[in-house]
């Protein structure tokens, strides 16, 4: 079946604008994860959903970042009042369940550039 998809693949925005990134997980996967990969940095865990619930939002870098998931499927990551340091590749992954036993499958990412 289809893998994890993300849109847009590239986004260029002006500083101060809001952006919305979308993730479509693999059908039937109940767990969904968001990460950020900055140039020269490792992957930074942002948030994890089990179903529509995010048990821990402490990984989000600031209160300008928010994420939601509806219907146990699509998730959106919203960044308000974007700053240049928000420029990164945002990766989404899904797994069959949120338990520790399942592999994560990654989407191709959204490259965000804030000018």
Partner 1 sequence: KQEVTQIPAALSVPEGENLVLNCSFTDSAIYNLQWFRQDPGKGLTSLLLIQSSQREQTSGRLNASLDKSSGRSTLYIAASQPGDSATYLCAVRARDDKIIFGKGTRLHILP
> In angstroms, what is the minimal distance from the CB of 10 to partner 1?
11
Q: Are 89 and 40 in contact (CB under 8 A)?
A: no
Query: Residue 23 CA to chain centroid, in angstroms?
Result: 7
> In angstroms, what is the minimal distance from the CB of 32 to partner 1?
12
Under the criterion CB under 8 A, does residue 1 sit at the interface with partner 1? no
Helix (H, G, I), strand (E, B) or coil at 80: coil
Under the criterion CB under 8 A, does residue 22 sit at the interface with partner 1? no
Under the criterion CB under 8 A, does residue 71 sit at the interface with partner 1? no
For partner 1, the binding residue among 91, 94, 112, 114 (CB under 8 A) is 91
In the bound state with partner 1, the residue whose beta carbon lies nearer, of 14 and 39, is 39
The residue with tokens 């998730």 is 75
Choose among 79, 84, 93: nearest CA to 43. Answer: 93
Looking only at the bridges linking them, the beta strands covering 10-13 and 110-114 are parallel
Under the criterion CB under 8 A, does residue 25 sit at the interface with partner 1? no
Q: What angle do CA 7, 10, 59 make, to 5 degrees?
A: 70
Under the criterion CB under 8 A, does residue 42 sit at the interface with partner 1? yes
Under the criterion CB under 8 A, does residue 51 sit at the interface with partner 1? no
Residues that bind partner 1 (CB under 8 A): 4, 33, 35, 41-45, 48, 55-56, 59, 91, 93, 98-109
């Amino acid at each position: 079946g289809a893998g994890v998809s993300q849109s847009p693949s590239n986004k260029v925005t002006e500083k101060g604008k809001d952006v919305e990134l979308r993730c479509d997980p693999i059908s039937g996967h109940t767990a969904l994860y968001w990460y950020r990969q900055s140039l020269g940095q490792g992957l930074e865990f942002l948030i994890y959903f089990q179903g529509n619930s995010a048990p821990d939002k402490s990984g989000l870098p600031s209160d300008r970042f928010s994420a939601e998931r509806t219907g146990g499927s699509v998730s959106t990551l919203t960044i308000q009042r974007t700053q240049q340091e928000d420029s990164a590749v945002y990766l989404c992954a899904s797994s069959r369940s949120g338990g520790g036993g399942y592999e994560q499958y990654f989407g191709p990412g959204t490259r965000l550039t804030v000018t």
